Chain A
Amino acid sequence: MLLKPATEDFRAIGYALGRVVLVVAAAGLVPLTWAILQREWKPLGGIVLMIGLAALFGASSELLRPEKSKLSWSHGMVVVALTWLVIPALGSIPLWLSGHFGRYLDAYFDAMSGLTTTGLSLLQDVDHLAESLNIWRHTLQFLGGQGIVLAALTFFAGSGILSLYHGEGRDDQIFPSVTSTARFIWTVSLVHGVVGVAVLTTEGILQLGFEPQRAFFHAINVFMAAFDTGGFTSMSSSIAYYGSAVFEATAAVLMLAGALSFGLHHALWRRTQGLLRNLEIRTILTTFAGTLTLTLLGLAIAGTYSDTASLTRRGFFQALSAHTGTGFSSVPTAELARWGGLTFIGISIAMALGGMASSTAGGVKSLRVGLTFASLVDTVREALLPERSVIATTFHQTRRQVLTQRLAKSVMAISLLYVATYLGGAAVGLAYGYPLTDALFESVSASAAVGLSVGVTQPGMPAVLEAVMVAQMWLGRLEFIAAFSLLGFFISWMVGE
């Protein structure tokens, strides 16, 4: 029998949601400051409206303060799922008011794409978008990549909503307390931010001939998009705009850093012995080598690039961009759409697999891929060995662990859900008349939070397909669990007793 949620349940959820939404009010100060410094008065109204609504939402949640301060696990999941729907609605306000979107859904799509670190965009004429709004799009990516809940836990929320932490697809707890773990995650990001922005700004000034302020603007945006594997850029030609191998290489280091789990960052900062025994590292190195080879082979067979340097630069960057889930493109969309055959397969598989668990990347994630493969090997061994044989499969992930049936089952279930989401989105694209390859590519790109596009995502695309892609981005970023909890809560509310 399903239990109908009580008023106290709604109060607990509403209160926690309000606390988390306060993050938008705080984050909105970044574009607000930029707009004031740059004297961009036109977008100011939209930014102020967003901050005001977020602050009002957050403050009014005080009225709902529940008697019990601790939020249950399932309620925490519901809050996370709602947070990732409400924040794009607020975050899209200044974008929508900018006049750069054909309809409101496009602005919501962009805010969701930013927050989930996907990077697909329906923005028209991004080259002439106000700097403050570009900063806001990239701040959304940064927030989403770091984890909104993580930000809320750090700055606003008390211990009562610590149960939200795991709802954002984070399984690692590097330190005994979530607060210490959050502090470490922010430290890693800050270090990469300071160094990354400094290097990119210097390159912008010295190599690209930008004015210091312009170089800083581009550097900060590229950092946020690369480290949080987002893929937005402030120019319509993406990373190709800079036309610099050194700039691309710097972005590549940040993309790699973003796709590493924060647990691995912790290990890299302290010791490196034994890291190659780690199942996730082995898996990602193997799958990256495989998908990169397919990409290079496809491009060579098609004769797209005839010299080694061009082939390496384009193939390597695109394969890395796909595998880390960043979505930066060093080739124009029209050219990417012509990358058929083996290259299409290589890039699509790289996107579908994604980066490491508990990183800012999306996709199935390397740990699940490695464990799925280990489970399959287990099944084959079971079939080949005598009936009474006892098989205990272990794997190395931080420490030696046993691959239990329960773990294998949950890994398989999530992996299958990703595949189903990829295929489901492709089916909708097909129904709208897009070629199978284009529909599948775009569907994988949205669900795995990558952001590479072969041209399906563009202003004026069918609204239903657009809404489906919004749902794919949301489901993929939350890794399904929180979304199922929300669905379960809704069903209990409707039919429970």
Chain B
Amino acid sequence: MKGPDLRGAARGLLIETMVIVVLASAAFAAAFVILLLT
């Protein structure tokens, strides 16, 4: 029987973490601009 795909799992977790980092960075940039304008 095939074991769990550990490499795929690590890849999935890394992508999810990167997505949060990118989204949070974009939110930070947006918040900076919004605070500047308001």
Contacts and interface: CB of A to CB of B under 8 A. Distances in A.
Interface of A: 187-188, 190-192, 195, 249, 252-253, 256-257, 260, 265, 268-270, 272, 288-289, 292-293, 296-297, 300-301, 306-309, 311-312, 315-316, 320
A308 B32 contact: yes
Interface in B1-38: 4-5, 8-9, 11-13, 15-17, 19-20, 23-24, 26-28, 30-32, 34-35, 38
A190 B12 CA distance: 13
Contact of A253 (B16, B34, B38): B16
Chain B facing A: main interface SS? helix
Nearest to B26: A289
Closest 9 CB pairs of A and B: A269-B8, A316-B27, A268-B12, A191-B9, A311-B31, A312-B31, A312-B28, A300-B38, A300-B34
A260 B20 CA distance: 13
Interface of B: 4-5, 8-9, 11-13, 15-17, 19-20, 23-24, 26-28, 30-32, 34-35, 38
Contacts of B4: 187, 190-191
A296 B30 contact: yes
A246 to B, nearest CB: 12
The listed residue with most A CB atoms (<10 A of its CB), out of B9, B16, B27, B38, is B27
Contacts of A309: 28
A289 B27 CA distance: 9
Given A256-B19, A316-B27, A195 B34 contact: no
B13 A195 contact: yes
B20 A256 contact: yes
Contacts of A195: 13
Contacts of A293: 30, 34
The listed residue with most A CB atoms (<10 A of its CB), out of B12, B17, B23, B38, is B12
Contacts of A320: 23
A269 B4 CA distance: 11
Chain A facing B: main interface SS? helix
B19 to A, nearest CB: 6
Nearest to A245: B24
A268 B5 CA distance: 12
Contacts of B26: 289
A282 to B, nearest CB: 14
Given A270-B8, A300-B35, A308-B28, A191 B13 contact: yes
Given A195-B13, A296-B31, 5 more contacts: A191-B9, A256-B20, A296-B34, A309-B28, A311-B34
Contacts of A257: 13, 16
B10 to A, nearest CB: 9
B30 A292 contact: yes
Nearest to B6: A191
The listed residue with most A CB atoms (<10 A of its CB), out of B15, B17, B24, B34, is B34
Contacts of A308: 28, 31-32, 35
21 contacts: A187-B4, A188-B12, A191-B4, A249-B24, A253-B17, A256-B19, A260-B16, A265-B12, A268-B11, A268-B12, A288-B23, A293-B34, A296-B27, A297-B34, A300-B35, A301-B38, A307-B35, A308-B31, A311-B31, A315-B31, A316-B23
Contacts of B30: 292-293, 296
Contact of A316 (B8, B13, B24): B24
Nearest to A254: B16
A292 B34 CA distance: 12
A40 to B, nearest CB: 34
A315 B27 contact: yes
